[in-house]
Amino acid sequence: MSIADISMCAYLSYPAEETGYELPQSHPATWAWLQRIANAPGWLPPYELLPGQRFRNPV
């Protein structure tokens, strides 16, 4: 994994109900890349790493 992978995956790993984006449908290659990142040893989703309230998409 590169620095670019680590820095970008954080922005793209939030759930669709918060972002309004359905990445598997709208960006399948990006979704496949995120799945490869998620399978890396030690990977945890953002809310398992960061405490606090979840944001809700106002749309």
Q: Indicate whether 5 pLDDT > 90.
A: no
55 contacts 18 by C-beta, under 8 angstroms: yes
Q: Indicate whether 58 pLDDT > 70.
A: no
- pTM here is 0.71
Q: Indicate whether 32 pLDDT > 90.
A: yes
Residue 56 half-sphere exposure toward CB, CA atoms < 13 A: 2
pLDDT of res. 59: 60
Percentage of the chain lying above the pLDDT 90 cut:
25
**CA torsion through residues 18, 32, 28, 6, sign:** positive
pLDDT of res. 57: 62
